[in-house]
Amino acid sequence: MAHMGAHAHSHDEHHDLESMRLMGFWIFLITDCILFGTLFATYIVLHGNTAGGPTASELFEMPGVIAETFILLTSSFTSGLAVLSMNQGNRKGLIGWLVVTALLGASFIALELTEFVKLVHEGATISTSGFLSGFYVLVGTHGLHVSLGLVWMTALMIQLGRRGITNVTRRKVNVISLYWHFLDVVWIFVFTIVYLMGVM
């Protein structure tokens, strides 16, 4: 009995540590929210200051942006399916859904980069106007977050392949799926405030 109790206790401690780490990541996400909030504030304040350069409604082309939006939304869903497979103890399903999520994320980044290159070729660079400085910093910071997430997800897939589903990798998958949902939420506000309100 005493042995069983001690065993359960050590399990509890390990479990507590992992859930504390998950919570620590949640707090990081909240601070990241505030980072994006300041960038949104800057963009909203500056979006009228075009300094004789192109305006939002002249620049933005919606088909690409709409595709980006649905791609990221779907990838948020598939990262949820990855967690679901993990909870069923299905490692192949877990890695498979992570691969789908990462591929969708990569196509999102590809579309965004294409858009940026096109804008720069049209003469709309980060130094053209206050509006474009705010635009590139806000949308670029989000794109950087997604790119970082892709590198991270790839590393995690390799680790899952080697170690399988353990308490530690389980927490890591939970953390990255939270991160991915968070990036989708940020994009919804970018889509609404930058693009939809820009072309309205």
Partner 1 sequence: MAQHSAHDSHGGHDQGAHGSLKSYLTGFVLSLVLTVIPLLVVLNDWLEGTPAMVVLLGSAVLQFVVQLLFFMHLREEGKPRYNLMTLLLGIFILVLIVGGSIWIMTYNQVAH
> What b-and-e string marks burial along 97-111, b requiring 16 or more CB atoms within 10 Å of the CB?
bbebbbebbbebbeb
Give the footprint of partner 1 on residues 25-44 (CB under 8 A): 26-27, 30-31, 33-34, 37-38, 40-42, 44
Q: Does 12 bind partner 1 (CB under 8 A)?
A: yes
Q: How far apart are CA 39 and CA 141, in angstroms?
A: 9
Window of 101-109, 113-121, 145-153, 186-194 that interacts with partner 1 by CB under 8 A: 186-194
Residue 187: Cβ within 10 Å count: 23
Give the footprint of partner 1 on residues 79-98 (CB under 8 A): 80-81, 83-84, 87
Q: How far apart are CA 57 and CA 45, in angstroms?
A: 17
Among 167, 157, 170, which residue's Cα sits nearest to residue 100? 157
Q: How far apart are CA 72 and CA 84, in angstroms?
A: 19
The residue (of 119 and 175) whose beta carbon lies closer to partner 1 is: 175
Binding site for partner 1 (CB under 8 A): 1, 4-5, 7-8, 11-12, 15, 18-19, 22-23, 26-27, 30-31, 33-34, 37-38, 40-42, 44-45, 49, 62, 66, 69-70, 73-74, 76-77, 80-81, 83-84, 87, 167, 170-171, 174, 177-178, 181-182, 184-185, 188-189, 191-193, 196-197, 199-200
